[in-house]
Structure 1
Amino acid sequence: MASQESTHIRVPTPKFRVAICGGGPGGLALAVTLLRAADRAAPVAIDIYEAAPELATVGAGISVWPRTRALLEELGVMEGLRGEIGAGHEGDGRERRSLGFTFRKSDQPQASKNFFELQVPTDPLLLHRSALLEALKRGLNVPSASTCTVHTSSRLVSYTSAESGGVTLHFTGGATAHADVLVGADGVRSAVRQTMFSSHSPPVQPRWTGVVAYRSLVRKEDLERLAKGHQAGKRAMVVNNNHNAQHLVTYPISRGEDINFVGFYTVPGAYESKASYPGKWVRDVPVEDVKACYEGWEDEVQAVTKCVKKATAWGIHVMDDVPRCVDGPVAILGDAMHAMETHFGAGGGQAMEDAYILGRILAHPRTALYSQSGKVDVGTALKVYERVRFRFASSLVEKTRVVGKLYEFANGWEPEPDLAWAKRWGEEVTNLWKWQWDIALGKDWLAAEKMLLDEAGRTLEARL
């Protein structure tokens, strides 16, 4: 198990040790929160275990909406994202770019028109996932970072309860490590979750949605040469059809240099029959496969697909049957708990929200390794996290599926040639999206802290 050790300086003795399995946005956001919220007299020791040789990310574009942006501001991460699309503040003199989604029906050779504009209260932040990860990594560079160690090339296989308390982590190659608290931020194929529910019946495992997503990055300059002024280079678009279960999403990232391309195809009946995804969940595919999926669509779409130079196919899986997210001193967050489809662009944001609430709870002065007068033990603290985050985040798995079906005009939403239909459809989509600009971070934390203080008060009463 390789490791990259931080430079240690003299610090107070940590109150306990937290192992974070996974160095993606959720895992790093948890580490940054623990460092920023640390009690100087009793900080938390942090070990980040990442399976890859370095802290990197898969995927390409990511959209950050108001509720998640508020979190990034709170953690001081936004400063490292200045210059990205949508990163300017309202009222800072910049003109808004109107980056809410444009919807367009395009599954015909004749030129179409935009039929709905999703109005949002503030532009989303549109960027490459690597830019977000780099900003979060910079968030680890704080004075208290001496308590944080990153271990790369460390793939967790399982964990066991330790006789002395806490858990023993088991890695490929036979290496082990100890932690008082283990947090699985290790994605949809989480080893932490698999161990947590190893004896659960029925098995708790990812479910293929029947959706295949073709992902690619299109260079804006290539698209401009082919179709000057194309909408895809300026704003987010959802291109729909009503003959097959397909749609296409594009939006500019990388400060406007690239266009994130995600083409969706749904295999009829695969989700309902609980079919297994055939082959590797992520694989390279010929560009011709992508072009064939949208053959016969209008020129607006053909211009984009002609610019696709390299593509991958992702079998989209969800976690829609997780019964809980905490077991003793072990918790899961993000895709390990509530992997969802991509139609809200919310997976990474929800992982970071989980991380923020969990980090604030663990770093709180009223949280200790063992229960004592006026303080709660880590197991009780984790249960507070579960009460605040589990139900809401899990509910988004189904809500995301519903909005995806709307994009493909399913479930009775066959397009009609009148403006009244477009208005009704748009209202339905807008209502489903509204949670994304509800900045709930403050009230969620206040609710969590109240629960934590109530539990701490009970420990005090028990000793009187």
Structure 2
Amino acid sequence: HSTYSPHRKVMTLLNTIPEKSEPVSRDSKPRPKFRVAISGGGIAGSYLAVALSKYPDIHVNLYEAAERFTEVGAGLTVWGRTWAALSSIGVESTLRDVETASAATSPSCDGMKSAVRRCMMEKKVSEGLTDFSKYIDPVWTGRVAYRVLIPVERFPISVREDPNFVRPVKHIVRYCIADGSMMNVVGFVSQPELAETLYDSPWSTECETEEFINCYPEWEPEVLEMLKLADKPMKLAIHDLRPLPVYVSGNVALVGDAAHAMTPHQGTGAGQAIEDACVLASLLGHPSTTLDTLSCALKAYEEIRLPFANNVLMRSRLAGLLYEFNSECGDDYTAIHSILEHQFDWVDGDGVKQQIQKALTKMEDRK
């Protein structure tokens, strides 16, 4: 069994074989208009299953390799636009009532290694589109991250109040989770010259505190004091995907990390996965979507979500470079500030309601 991951990519496989026509008794449920098979029970897969469950004419199967669902990771950033998508399936009231919900799962690498994406891209290659081979596997960014959770009560007051830290090719971020009781500390170390080379070690391993500390020699005393509090940090190789040219092939749609696995520098990998699922569920559940018009729904999903999510993916990649003075701006603070001012403009762009409406319009135009 593979390890459960909150962002395990999620693809949607739509069965094109309609149910055999048989007499239906008065008391039986109507036969579904089609079946949806969801591969992966992570955030996007679970959201999609719940969202589709409100449509009685859609039969849903959710496939997850993990033996059980567990809490993994160190909290998620939930933007207002993501909150709107969660609210649409009734999650909002549950989260408001559960104080520990803030210590939710966080991104991991498993979702990037989508077998479905591999099959989709290999098929494109076999059809003569050889350039699609570069979209099969994730690419290493040349960056590793050391992540650890530390009880806030262990932090001296001065360290609690210090800002995040940035230097060339390295930076450290931290923020509170679990209702302010834990501090999530993540230190990034980059080798830009190794970007898109093969990372031939395990992508996720536990390491010693000394290794973490040794990455930041001669940094501020408060930084070293903080890092000494780390107990068995996790070392993570940061990978992402090249922006895919397609999310849909036939009746198969890529959702979440399988479509646009991204770096964590804008805190939105999970949010974009949820938006994918929200838009796709609305299209599949629409009364005009049938087995015959399924392709119109999937292409509308791709037309709306692909450019938006790919844009966020690239912005997240650029943010990581800017934070460590590795972008074309170098250490030009004025230029960096000018770009960072607009790095999160997408947050105020079309929300899920607007995206759904545009997708429905595109779907109807295709019919």
Same fold per TM (> 0.5)? yes
Aligned to 1:435: 346
Partners of 1:438 and 1:322 lie apart in 2 by 21
| Aligned match of 1:267 | 191
Match of 1:63 among 77, 81, 86: 77
1:392 maps to what in 2? Answer: 308
| CA positional deviation for 1:211 | 1.0
Q: Give the aligned residue type for 2:180.
A: G
1:248 aligns with 172
- How far apart are 1:257 and its partner, in Å? 1.1
1:229 Cα offset (Å): 6.9
Counterpart of 2:290 in structure 1 is: 368
| Deviations 1:261-309 (CA, angstroms, capped at 9, x unpaired) | 21111113111xx310121111111121111112321133223212211
1 CA distance for matches of 2:279 and 2:50?
12
Q: Which residue matches 2:47?
A: 29
Among residues 184, 197, 210, which one is paired with 2:142 in the alignment? 210
Matches within 5 A, 1:218-237: 218-223=150-155, 226-227=156-157, 230-231=160-161, 237=163
1: CA distance, partners of 2:102 / 2:337: 26
Q: What is the letter of the counterpart of residue 62 of structure 1?
A: L
Shift of 1:411: 2.8
- Which residue identity lines up with residue 28 of structure 1 in the other structure? S
**What pairs up with 1:121-200 in 2 under 5 angstroms?**
127-130=102-105, 187-199=111-123, 200=125
RMSD: 2.6
Distance 1:347 1:57 in 2: 17
- For structure 1, list consecutive stretches of 5 or more residues without a partner in the other structure: 2-8, 88-125, 133-185, 457-464
Q: Which has the higher helix share?
A: 2
**What is the CA deviation profile of residues 65-84 of structure 1, one whole-angstrom value per residue up to 9, with x for unaligned ones?**
12212212222212222278
Q: CA deviation at 1:128?
A: 2.4
- 1:51 aligned to 2:65? yes
Note closer, same or farther for the CA distance 1:57–1:439 as it changes in structure 2 (3 Å cut): farther
Equivalent position SS for 2:187: strand
Counterpart CA distance in 1 for 2:255 and 2:249 is 13
Task: Determine the structure 1 residue equivalent to 2:325.
Answer: 409
Q: Which residue of 2 aligns with 1:280?
A: 202
Paired residue for 1:135?
A: none
Q: Measured at CA, do residues 340 and 229 of structure 1 come closer, stay the same or move farther in structure 2, by a change above 3 Å?
A: closer
**Counterparts in 2 of 1:84 and 1:212: CA distance versus 1, 3 Å:** farther
Closer, same or farther: CA 299–10 of 1 in aligned 2, 3 Å: farther
**Aligned equivalents of 2:225 and 2:345: distance in 1?**
32
1:76 partner amino acid:
G
The code of the aligned residue for 2:137 comes to Q
In structure 2, the CA distance between the partners of 1:83 and 1:404, relative to structure 1 (3 Å rule), is farther
Q: Is the 8 A contact 1:81 1:131 kept in 2?
A: no
Q: Corresponding residue for 1:349?
A: 271
Contact 1:361 1:381 in 2 (8 A): yes
**How far apart, in 2, do the equivalents of 1:429 and 1:412 lie?**
13
Q: Distance in 1 between matches of 2:98 and 2:316?
A: 26
Aligned to 2:164: 238
Q: Quote the Cα distance in structure 1 between the aligned partners of 2:68 and 2:201.
A: 26
Following the alignment from structure 1 to structure 2, what is the Cα–Cα distance between the partners of residues 259 and 315?
21
C-alpha displacement of 1:22:
0.9
Unaligned runs of 5+ in 2: 2-26
2:352 is equivalent to residue 338 of structure 1: no
Contact 1:287 1:308 in 2 (8 A): yes
CA offsets, 1:85-115, max 9 Å, x none? 9x9xxxxxxxxxxxxxxxxxxxxxxxxxxxx
Whole-angstrom CA distance in 1 between matches of 2:190 and 2:270: 22
Could you say if the C-alpha distance between residues 80 and 339 of structure 1 is closer, same or farther in structure 2, counting changes exceeding 3 Å? same
> CA 1:300–1:12 in structure 2 vs 1: closer, same or farther (change >3 Å)?
farther
Q: Could you tell me whether the CA contact under 8 Å between 1:340 and 1:347 is conserved in 2?
A: yes
- Report the alpha carbon displacement of residue 228 of structure 1 after superposing the two structures with TM: 5.5
| Rounded Cα–Cα distance in structure 1 between residues aligned with 2:122 and 2:192 | 31
Matches of 2:317 and 2:49 in 1, distance apart?
30
Kindly tell me the number of residue pairs found equivalent between the two proteins: 333
Q: CA deviation at 1:321?
A: 4.6
Q: TM-score, normalised by structure 2?
A: 0.83
For residue 51 of structure 1, report the CA deviation from its aligned partner. 1.4
8 Å CA contact 2:299, 2:363 repeated in 1: no
Whole-Å separation in 2 of the counterparts to 1:299 and 1:35: 53
- Alignment deviations for residues 373-396 of structure 1 (CA, whole Å, 9 cap, x no partner): xxx2x2221111111111221122
C-alpha distance in 2 between matches for 1:16 and 1:285: 48
Percent of matched pairs sharing the same residue: 35
Larger radius of gyration: 1
TM-score, normalization: structure 1? Answer: 0.67
Contact residue 17 and residue 46 of structure 1 kept, 8 A: yes
Match of 1:380 among 291, 296, 301: 296
- Letter in structure 2 aligned against 1:397: L
- DSSP 3-state at the match of 1:61: coil
Between the aligned partners of 1:81 and 1:426, the Cα distance in structure 2 is: 35
Q: Aligned partners of 2:29 and 2:71: how far apart in 1?
A: 31
> Structure 1 residues 452 and 268, CA, compared in 2 at 3 Å: closer, same or farther?
closer
CA contact (8 A) 2:72 2:106 kept: no
Instruction: Provide the rounded CA distance (Å) in 2 between the counterparts of 1:295 and 1:404.
Output: 21
Is residue 2:349 matched to residue 1:452?
no
**1:280 alignment partner, SS class:** coil
Hey, what's the Cα distance between the residues in 2 that align with 1:33 and 1:229? 43
- Between the aligned partners of 2:235 and 2:145, the Cα distance in structure 1 is 6
